[in-house]
A and B are shown apart, each in its own frame.
Chain A
Amino acid sequence: MPSILVRSLLVLSSLGLAQDALPPSADRPVDFREEIKPILDARCVSCHGPDEQKSGLRLDAKEPALLGGDLGPAIEPGDSASSYLIHKVAGFQGESIMPPEGDPLSPAEIGLLRAWIDQGASWPEEADDSTPERRSSDHWAFQPITRPEPPSVHHEEWPRSPIDRFILARLEAEGISPSPEADRASLLRRLSLDLIGLPPTPEEVDAFVQDDDPGAYDALVDRLLASPHFGERWGRHWLDLARYADSDGYEKDRPRPDAYRYRDWVIDAVNRDLPFDRFTIEQLAGDLLPDASLEQQAAAGFHRNTLTNTEGGVDQEEFRVAAVVDRVNTTGSVWLGLTVGCAQCHSHKYDPITQREYYQLFAFFNTADEADLPLAEPTADDEAKEESVPRIRTFAEQPPDRRRASHVLIRGDFLRPGDPVEPGTIAVLPPMEPSGDRADRLDLAEWLMRPDHPLTARVAVNRVWYHLFGRALVPSMEDFGTRGEPPSHPELLDWLAIEYQRLGWSRKELIRTIVRSAAYRQSSAVREDLEPIDPENVLLARQNRVRLEAEVIRDVALSASGLLTTEVGGPSVFPPQPEGISELTYARSARWEESQGADRYRRGMYTFFRRTSPYPMLTTFDAPDANVCAVKRSASNTPLQALTLLNDEVFVECSRALGLRALAEDPSLPADRAFRLALGRLPTPEESALLSGLRDDLLAAFRADPGAAAAFLGDEPIPGLVPPEEAAALVATARAILNLDEFITRD
């Protein structure tokens, strides 16, 4: 394959030749639709069309055809002799002839193509395959949302909320009955884990189980929604989308000591229930708000979480563009639920998103420069060492006179700008009404939150539902497009989407509405009668059991053992991690200076996240790597997880604290106490027997090897006059409890 350079040299030197060697241009006006389009469709489009783009070239639609392919433009309007398309079909200058199969084009056909190009290569709108069908779509997710009437049901006594009517109507249609409500202890643990990510104490369980006030459940929901830990729990969900981390990524992976200010903004915004429309606007355009506060500037840090490549010898423009691309793709995933990134190199194959539209979205972010606002006036001392001044990571929009131009990038290559583009959105969605002459990020954010936007609300409620049921109504949470999965309960999805807006985009109110439903409160036990009909529990005739997320596994262990530091926010911390992890990064600057005191026991979400050497426990339990927006986590089940819970120093320390705590709190039945602290319920007699059997075996083993007990207990003081072997046996029993499947599962 000749390089572009070589080819253009050939072209230059042979222009005169070309006129003579090529079949002559037809000397009459040609009609694109009647004469040209049929040739392209019949002979070119099977390899250069929607399904395949050999050499990156598409000849089925105006825009990509005129943009050209990997080897540059194929069509030079007005100059057929220089057009590569003509050279290829004519086999000019030794070019391999196109099409490669079947007869070559006849001289008359080539003459028509030449005439069309010479006459300006006009491609009327109505003949543009890419245009008409792309303006409207009958795909469900692009249709306006209307509030469906909750259906009537046979069993009127079951529904606690309109939500339940949608669920039950479907179940009744299938002849399935819903599951009974989970027992009180399970409900409390479920709600606590779902809303604040921490387990209830045994005392809370007792109080709730004994509370026969009919308003007890609602009061519990109120208490949890008001907890400062609610913002941590739901903020962490959001941080997955925001690809939040504490370092730059790529080779150098330098630390970002100020990144946590964005994380803290999220926690705070969720706690004060900043409505989702404001939440959106401040993160996409906080810096553009009139008199933007420091908090709003920090909110705009959402898109500062992209990676930064400071590797020596990189083309800075290349990685600036890569960051902008990530901002577009992330915005598409988070708010539109669309894989807009697929249109970066060519128009989307399945969804009505053209490549031009992609770069219209790109243009919104292309004129925002990264900016760091000092939080305090730097002192003379600070200026000497620049990094010591605390900063807010935000953006600054370029002034109109120095505004970077945006172009379609051919094949997504930043070195190959095509047509210029202005900020704009996707034609299949409602039109944008910019406030000024030129749409900016603020307009984009407001457009996303328009009441008639068919995607934003559906996508948002789908995620909330997922976090409360372990299964989304639209399972392909990242793709509401034509290749995604359809909703299991389309009317419920729309009802929730409208309800969210009716509730003023209040996240807390939406969650309250869902967790009050009978559907949410069902038992999660698997029902054998449903296995043949609904093995994946699509119809929600029960709740789902969900393995806890990585950070929450750490949190429940620290909480049950009484070690947890409950402080909210602040700089990220460095809990103990095995030796040699940070040293494995390329950047040897990656030191892990273990935090001391209370900071050793912070919640998992505060662990310093270094992209090239993430904290092993977190990745072992499927925390995302924070390099790209993560819409959904997987829940794997691996031996490395077992080894972590059994042997990681952190969890051993938790076992020790849990065992000794149980010994102090209930010297007569410490194993049962440890079980309750961890799981929120008492063991069954059979479980109790298994625990005491284990404890007896361990006691015998430690008695046989007294040095082992001392080694296992470390320096921890033992409460009362308990012999060390007995304490060690109990601690080892507590260790088993922390390894139970139930402990790391939300039932």
Chain B
Amino acid sequence: MHPILEAIERSRRDFLTSSASGVGLVALASLLRDQGAIARGDEAGRRSDPLAPRPPHFEPRAKACICIYLEGGPSQIDLFDPKPELNRLDGQPLPESFTKNVRFAFIQKESATVMGCPRVFSRRGECGMELSDFLPNLGACADDIALIRSMQTDQFNHHPGQLLMNTGSAMFGRPSLGSWLTYGLGSESENLPGYVVLNTGRGTSGGASNWSSGFLPSTYSGVLFRNQGDPVLHLGNPPGISARIQRETIDAVGALNARRFDAVRDEEIQSRIASYELAFRMQRSAPELIDLSGESRETLDLYGVGRDDPEGGGRGAGPGVYHQFATNCLLARRMVERGVRFVNIYHASWDHHSNIDAELKFNCGMADRPVAALITDLKRRGLLDSTLVLWCSEFGRTPLGENRAGYKTVTGRDHHPFAFSLFLAGGGVKGGQVIGKTDPIGWNVVEDPVHVHDYHATILKLFGFDHTRLTYRYQGRDFRLTDVAGNVVDRLIA
């Protein structure tokens, strides 16, 4: 009997004799790999099983990544980079030399003035990292966090900025970070996608282009998990189709496909048989993944699962976003435990052109506790060392208040690409440190600028890749995540 058919036969027998919990299902993919029927760690292996695990260039520090993307440009001034000078300069214009060659999305340069910041910063952790009172729980994780205050990007509009942050290019058609990592490393999960996207509330302005595989095969695209209905599109069987009928159907499809393979000998048919098996396994595992009944009350509370939304919140609000964001952070941990390579958690919008104090408070109230819980939970389970947690966005916000035409009062900040903050934790990152420094009003970076390409180069290094050598040939050129730039920020690495 053909090895694939043998494996299917075993999986079928196991299914039919096991309880409904799905325990006893053989790991088909690994079985096939053991037999050498599908994958090897080389290029030929990648062709026959694109998600087979493969070693990187050198010993990696991180094996999985959870990227928390807060779409819109959270204000670094109000969260990560204290600028007391702004309160002194509140209401005053900046010298023209600051704004002369600068383009703004909305600010009218002629009348724009500095906007003070009412946030209270305090030193947190043994490292004494200064963080805002909007992030009380993350402050408790300060010693695990490497905060970059000197991020720089080239883009000041949302969608292009998101593309640059996620794919290393503001142009369409490039693979996202998660796609590069699953392309480079494959997936450790035998029954879940290697790259999962979780969203809370409204969508991001970049939409699916943020987790696109670009010119890489679409196997490496992020798979969007849903918050309602099936967690994966079409995961549930149609009405009247039991798991048993589904199993029998897939068996028959497999058997008929195998006859076809005998007749035409096309290896794609074998891959097709394997992908139906994987689909069935996903149907069994995904419900187990999202079933949180096995989590302790303490864990659920740590993340804030079940919290009600407070009043207000503006555009970042939506029915149940507090609960959903907390749930997504917990799901991310559960996915990493199950071998998922890259989890992207999105929340829009942090684009606070107005009403920044109230809306940022709402958003931070939503994000601070679950993200801190995620770091804490990963750490106590021994997973933080191998799991990189990222908190990022496409740019930051101006020290100037936003005075766009039509605004009666100035209560927000405009897009600011020259200096913003983000942080990394776990995955081989040296926590408890701040990288980079901005000038007294947070306009420009004055020490250790970190461009988006440098940030990407560093992440790839944590995963064991030389960013100049993780390439894909397309249109006659070897493309890479970092384009033709990128310097690893060695200080970030423990």
User: Which residues of A are in contact with B by a Cβ distance under 8 Å?
Assistant: 1, 3-5, 9, 250-251, 253, 307, 309, 311-315, 339, 342, 349-350, 415, 476, 478-479, 481-484, 524-528, 545, 547, 578-580, 583-586, 588, 611-614, 616, 619-620, 622, 625, 627-628, 634, 636-644, 646-649, 652, 684, 686-687, 690-691, 693-694, 697-698, 701-702, 705, 707-714, 728, 732, 735-736, 739-742, 745, 747
Can you report 23 residue pairs joining A to B where beta carbons are below 8 Å apart?
A251-B205, A309-B159, A342-B475, A350-B477, A479-B476, A525-B265, A584-B199, A586-B204, A586-B205, A614-B208, A619-B221, A636-B50, A639-B193, A643-B233, A643-B279, A647-B236, A690-B259, A694-B248, A698-B248, A702-B240, A728-B240, A739-B249, A740-B256
Q: Please indicate the chain A residues that have their CB under 8 angstroms from the CB of B203 in the complex.
A: 583-586, 612-613
Q: A701 to B242: give the CA distance in the assembly, Å.
A: 9
Q: Please indicate the chain B residues that have their CB under 8 angstroms from the CB of A612 in the complex.
A: 203, 205-209
Beyond A578-B234, A622-B218, list 16 extra A-B contacts (CB 8 Å). Answer: A251-B206, A312-B105, A524-B266, A526-B265, A586-B207, A625-B209, A628-B173, A648-B234, A684-B259, A694-B249, A701-B242, A702-B240, A736-B252, A736-B256, A740-B256, A741-B257
Q: Please indicate the chain B residues that have their CB under 8 angstroms from the CB of A652 in the complex.
A: 238
Please tell me which one of the listed residues A479, A616, A639, A647 contacts residue B275 in the complex, with CB atoms under 8 A apart. Answer: A639
Stretch in B142-150, B223-231, B372-380, B421-429 with 4+ CB within 8 Å of A: B223-231
Interface positions, chain B 114-162, Cβ under 8 Å from A, are 157-159
Contact B264 A311 (CB under 8 A): no
Contact B240 A627 (CB under 8 A): no
Please encode chain B, from 228 to 265, with 1 for each CB lying within 8 Å of some chain A CB and 0 for all others. 11101111111111101110111011011101100111
Given A643-B232, A741-B269: A638 and B218 interface contact (C-beta under 8 Å): yes
Interface positions, chain B 367-419, Cβ under 8 Å from A, are 404, 414-415
Please encode chain B, from 192 to 206, with 1 for each CB lying within 8 Å of some chain A CB and 0 for all others. 010000010011111
B458 within 8 Å of A (CB atoms): no
B282 within 8 Å of A (CB atoms): yes
Q: A585 to B201: give the CA distance in the assembly, Å.
A: 10
Interface class of chain A by DSSP: loop
Given A314-B157, A315-B103, A614-B208: A732 and B233 interface contact (C-beta under 8 Å): no
Q: Please indicate the chain A residues that have their CB under 8 angstroms from the CB of B291 in the complex.
A: none
Residue of B nearest to A484 (CB): B476
Q: Please indicate the chain B residues that have their CB under 8 angstroms from the CB of A585 in the complex.
A: 203, 207
B433 within 8 Å of A (CB atoms): no
Given A313-B105, A639-B279, A647-B237: A687 and B219 interface contact (C-beta under 8 Å): no
Contact A311 B240 (CB under 8 A): no
Q: Please indicate the chain B residues that have their CB under 8 angstroms from the CB of A701 in the complex.
A: 242, 244-245, 248
Q: Please indicate the chain A residues that have their CB under 8 angstroms from the CB of B105 in the complex.
A: 312-314
Contact A611 B202 (CB under 8 A): no
A644 → chain B closest CB, angstroms: 5
Contact B238 A636 (CB under 8 A): no
Please encode chain B, from 260 to 299, with 1 for each CB lying within 8 Å of some chain A CB and 0 for all others. 1001111111011101101100110000000000000000
We find that the number of chain B residues with CB closer than 8 angstroms to chain A is 86
B179 → chain A closest CB, angstroms: 12
Q: A545 to B279: give the CA distance in the assembly, Å.
A: 23
B104 within 8 Å of A (CB atoms): yes
Q: Please indicate the chain B residues that have their CB under 8 angstroms from the CB of A253 in the complex.
A: 207
Q: Please indicate the chain B residues that have their CB under 8 angstroms from the CB of A3 in the complex.
A: 101, 444
Contact A697 B248 (CB under 8 A): yes
Contact B477 A708 (CB under 8 A): no
Q: Please indicate the chain B residues that have their CB under 8 angstroms from the CB of A647 in the complex.
A: 234-238
Q: Please indicate the chain B residues that have their CB under 8 angstroms from the CB of A709 in the complex.
A: 240
Residue of A nearest to B402 (CB): A313
CB-CB nearest 7 A-B residue pairs: A313-B105, A712-B240, A483-B476, A612-B207, A251-B205, A711-B240, A627-B172
B106 within 8 Å of A (CB atoms): yes
Given A586-B205, A636-B219, A712-B240: A313 and B157 interface contact (C-beta under 8 Å): yes
Contact A687 B240 (CB under 8 A): no
Given A478-B475, A638-B218, A646-B234: A5 and B101 interface contact (C-beta under 8 Å): yes
Q: Please indicate the chain A residues that have their CB under 8 angstroms from the CB of B221 in the complex.
A: 619
A615 → chain B closest CB, angstroms: 11
Q: A483 to B477: give the CA distance in the assembly, Å.
A: 7
A16 → chain B closest CB, angstroms: 22
Contact B229 A740 (CB under 8 A): no
Q: Please indicate the chain A residues that have their CB under 8 angstroms from the CB of B250 in the complex.
A: 646
A148 → chain B closest CB, angstroms: 26
Q: A640 to B233: give the CA distance in the assembly, Å.
A: 8
B100 within 8 Å of A (CB atoms): yes
Contact B237 A479 (CB under 8 A): no
B7 within 8 Å of A (CB atoms): no
Q: A652 to B219: give the CA distance in the assembly, Å.
A: 24
Q: Please indicate the chain B residues that have their CB under 8 angstroms from the CB of A628 in the complex.
A: 171-173
Residue of A nearest to B237 (CB): A647
Residue of B nearest to A612 (CB): B207
Residue of B nearest to A477 (CB): B475
Contact A584 B207 (CB under 8 A): yes
B358 → chain A closest CB, angstroms: 20
Q: Please indicate the chain A residues that have their CB under 8 angstroms from the CB of B205 in the complex.
A: 250-251, 311, 586, 612
Choose among A9, A309, A690, A702 the residue with the greatest number of B CB atoms under 10 Å from its CB: A690
Q: A251 to B217: give the CA distance in the assembly, Å.
A: 25
Residue of B nearest to A243 (CB): B172
B348 within 8 Å of A (CB atoms): yes
Q: A9 to B95: give the CA distance in the assembly, Å.
A: 15
Choose among A642, A713, A735 the residue with the greatest number of B CB atoms under 10 Å from its CB: A642
Contact B246 A588 (CB under 8 A): no
Q: A690 to B255: give the CA distance in the assembly, Å.
A: 8
Q: A309 to B204: give the CA distance in the assembly, Å.
A: 15
Contact B249 A578 (CB under 8 A): no
